[in-house]
């Protein structure tokens, strides 16, 4: 049995060998993986069945069981996803800029893979083909750590993907699987060998990882999103958008948790909004001013905990504010820098809100639910980041790359550019590919 360190070293070595893997090799590998998943459907279902039966015996809740359980359709979906990644543009080897420093001395900024990516996830085995295909396309090596409740499903998927990709020419060792809970701790300590951790799972998993590693983490633990209805909002449109932002899919991170309403429009907007929310079964937690306006409706009193809460459910907190300034202040104080929207016809207030709200996505007159890699046209979504570094907001394939500077010369030395009679740099942006 190999240790986590040994596996990380193998992944690292494979990464260094694969940094210049050709696009056609990567795409061939992806198609081979898709084929392997399709044609081994029965094997995957059998392995998954063992996991599901064990989980049932252990009393796993129904919602979690549903995520664990695979079907013929889900497996076709996986294969289809992997195929679609083969059609995406190769994010590696792009010349991001080229500068002539002097005649015959050209500086290129070129996109490269990041290195070794640690992917830690819970329950859903169908994320394995997703994340491994994105990492493969971007030239990265991967160490997978799934939940023990899906151990059999994870193992068969890992084996199929590993064999198919290596057969197609990807350096052996690029994909690793670690299995025990204590392996997570070891992974999180391998700062020298793992370049990025991507967690997928519960808020407590993500928080645990963020608090226990020096490796950069791509992800976010919270989505406390807001909509602010300004005095200059179109009321019907605002009701429609705020309904979508809460009700269309309340369990996701880009649904709103708090509605802020300008006092100048609250008595016209709030009753209309409340009718729609209550019809959809949304519980209203309101501040004193909103309570007065909504006297005829069933509401609960909001406390300060509500401004901090991520319900992920059919509950919304509502606060009446004095205007755009107070809305911005509230969001920067209580929000999670994820996604926040203003509804207004005032260009001035919109601009102020969009500039001053310190969130990864800010929206004007549309639903926060649009904050998503697919909807943003990023091709595929690696995750949504509330970090300010590297990648912010919905992250696509580009978020699995970094860059290096490549300087090409013909014998230039720095001392000729210093002192008396120094050569001058030209620093001319040029249109040239490396």
Interacting residues with a second copy (CB under 8 A): 16-17, 19-20, 99, 101, 105, 107, 114-115, 195-196, 216, 234, 237, 240-241, 243-245, 248-249, 328, 332, 350, 352, 354-356, 358-367, 369-371, 375-377, 388-390, 392-394, 402-415, 417-418, 425, 427
| Pick 240 or 346: Cβ nearer a second copy | 240
The contacts of residue 24 (CB under 8 Å, 6+ apart) are: none
Output 115 or 146, the one with its CB closest to a second copy.
115
CB-wise, 47 or 241, nearer to a second copy?
241
Roughly what angle, to the nearest 10 degrees, separates helices 23-39 and 72-87? 170
Cβ atoms of 13 and 173 closer than 8 Å:
yes
Q: Which of 178, 69, 65, 191 is nearest to 119 (CA)?
A: 178
Q: How far is the CB of 280 from a second copy (least distance, A)?
A: 12
How many other C-beta atoms lie within 10 A of the C-beta of residue 332?
14
- Smallest distance from a second copy to CB 166, Å: 19
Q: 27 vs 213, which CB is nearer to a second copy?
A: 213
- CA-to-CA separations, 11 to 171, 212, 305, in angstroms, rounded: 9, 22, 44
Phi-psi region of 117 (alpha: psi -120 to 50; beta: other; left: phi over 0): beta
* Phi-psi region at 229: left, alpha or beta (left = phi > 0; alpha = psi -120 to 50): beta
Least Å from the CB of residue 152 to a second copy: 33
Task: State the Cα torsion 13-19-25-28 to the nearest 10°.
Answer: 80
DSSP string across 345-358: S-HHHHHHHHHHS-
- Pairing of the two strands 95-102 and 105-113: antiparallel
The CB-of-394 to a second copy minimum distance in angstroms stands at: 7
- The least distance separating a second copy from the CB of residue 78, rounded to whole angstroms, comes to 21
- Of 54 and 387, which CB lies nearer to a second copy in the complex structure? 387
Q: Provide, rounded to whole angstroms, the least separation between the CB of residue 8 and a second copy.
A: 15
- Helices 235-247, 266-279: inter-axial angle, 10-degree rounding: 40
Q: In 10 A of CB 220, how many CB atoms?
A: 20
As a whole number of angstroms, the distance between CA 127 and CA 121 comes to: 8
Nearer to a second copy, 125 or 396 (CB): 396
| Beta carbon of residue 4, minimum distance to a second copy (angstroms, whole number) | 20
Which lies closer to a second copy via its Cβ, residue 16 or residue 65?
A: 16
Q: Whose Cβ is closer to a second copy: residue 297's or residue 376's?
A: 376
Alpha carbon distance 146, 195 (integer Å): 19
To a second copy, the closest distance from the beta carbon of 370 in angstroms equals 6
């Amino acid at each position: 049995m190999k240790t986590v360190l040994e596996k990380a070293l193998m992944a690292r070595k494979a990464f260094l060998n694969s940094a210049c893997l050709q696009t056609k090799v990567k795409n061939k590998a992806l198609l081979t993986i898709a084929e392997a998943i399709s044609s081994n459907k029965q094997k995957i279902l059998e392995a998954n069945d063992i996991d599901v039966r064990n989980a049932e015996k252990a009393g796993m809740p129904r919602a979690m069981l549903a995520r664990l359980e695979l079907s013929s359709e889900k497996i076709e979906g996986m294969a289809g996803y992997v195929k679609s990644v083969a059609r995406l543009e190769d994010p590696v080897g792009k010349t991001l800029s080229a500068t002539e420093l002097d005649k015959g001395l050209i500086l290129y900024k070129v996109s490269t893979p990041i290195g070794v990516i640690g992917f830690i996830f819970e329950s859903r085995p169908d994320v394995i083909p997703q994340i491994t295909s994105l990492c493969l396309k971007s030239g990265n090596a991967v160490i997978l750590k799934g939940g023990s409740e899906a151990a059999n499903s994870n193992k068969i998927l890992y084996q199929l993907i590993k064999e198919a990709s290596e057969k197609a020419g990807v350096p052996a060792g690029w994909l690793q699987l670690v299995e025990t809970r204590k392996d997570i701790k070891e992974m999180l300590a391998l700062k020298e060998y793992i370049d990025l951790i991507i967690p997928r799972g519960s808020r407590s998993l993500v928080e645990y990882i963020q608090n226990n590693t020096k490796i950069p983490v791509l992800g976010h633990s919270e989505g406390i999103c807001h909509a602010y209805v300004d005095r200059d909002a179109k009321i019907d449109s605002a009701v429609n958008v705020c309904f979508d932002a809460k009700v269309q899919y309340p369990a996701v991170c880009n649904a709103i948790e708090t509605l802020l309403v300008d006092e100048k429009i609250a008595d016209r907007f709030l009753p209309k909004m409340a009718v729609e929310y209550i019809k959809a079964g949304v519980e209203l937690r309101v501040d004193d001013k909103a309570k007065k306006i909504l006297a005829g409706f069933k509401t609960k009193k909001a406390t300060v905990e509500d401004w901090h809460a991520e319900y992920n459910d059919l509950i919304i907190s509502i606060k009446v504010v004095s205007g755009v300034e107070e809305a911005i202040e509230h969001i920067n104080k209580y929000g999670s820098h994820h996604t926040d929207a203003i509804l207004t016809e005032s260009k001035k207030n919109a601009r102020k809100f969009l500039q001053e709200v310190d969130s990864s996505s800010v929206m004007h007159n549309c639903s926060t639910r649009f904050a998503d890699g697919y909807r943003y046209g990023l091709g595929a979504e690696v995750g949504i980041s509330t970090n300010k570094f590297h990648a912010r907001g919905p992250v696509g394939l580009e978020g699995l790359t970094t860059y290096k500077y490549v300087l090409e010369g013909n014998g230039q030395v720095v001392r000729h550019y210093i002192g008396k009679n120094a050569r001058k740099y030209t620093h001319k942006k040029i249109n040239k590919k490396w």
